[in-house]
Amino acid sequence: MLIINDIINKLPYTYPFLFVDRINMVSANAIEGCYTFKKDEFFYKGHFKEQPVTPGVILTECCAQIGLVCLGIHLLHAEELEARDFQVALSSTEMQFLLPVFPLETVTVQANKLFFRFNKLKCEVKMYNQEAQLVCKGVLSGMIKNSNI
């Protein structure tokens, strides 16, 4: 069985586009992980001048990296899988944004698998801030394929 933190090492992302610090829990049906938005993230320059706010597309990416890709790696039984051995494609997003996320905030993403068939993973995702307030929620779908098959 794949050790939880080994999942992060299998991700096909690196700084400055890695938005997963920790996986708290993973099962065949759900995953939970966290990320702290650093003060010097590249996207804060100019978004917005006086008070930087994390763009919704970045919040969606964080949800996708934890809720789709990390869970997908787990579902592929990826003990021997290397980052170069699989392909990821986000196929649909439907997100609602409820609260802003500022620099130095830690968010927790929870995702529940809706289905995983023919390498298509569809999940319901929710992101919470440090005060356990719902920041955003939605449904994400993507294709996760082991390229060795």
Active-site residue set:
47
27's CB contacts (< 8 A; 6+ apart) are none
- What Å distances lie between residue 41 and 18, 34, 45, 102, 130, CA to CA? 11, 16, 8, 11, 19
Question: Phi/psi at 107 (nearest 5 deg)?
Answer: -115, 155
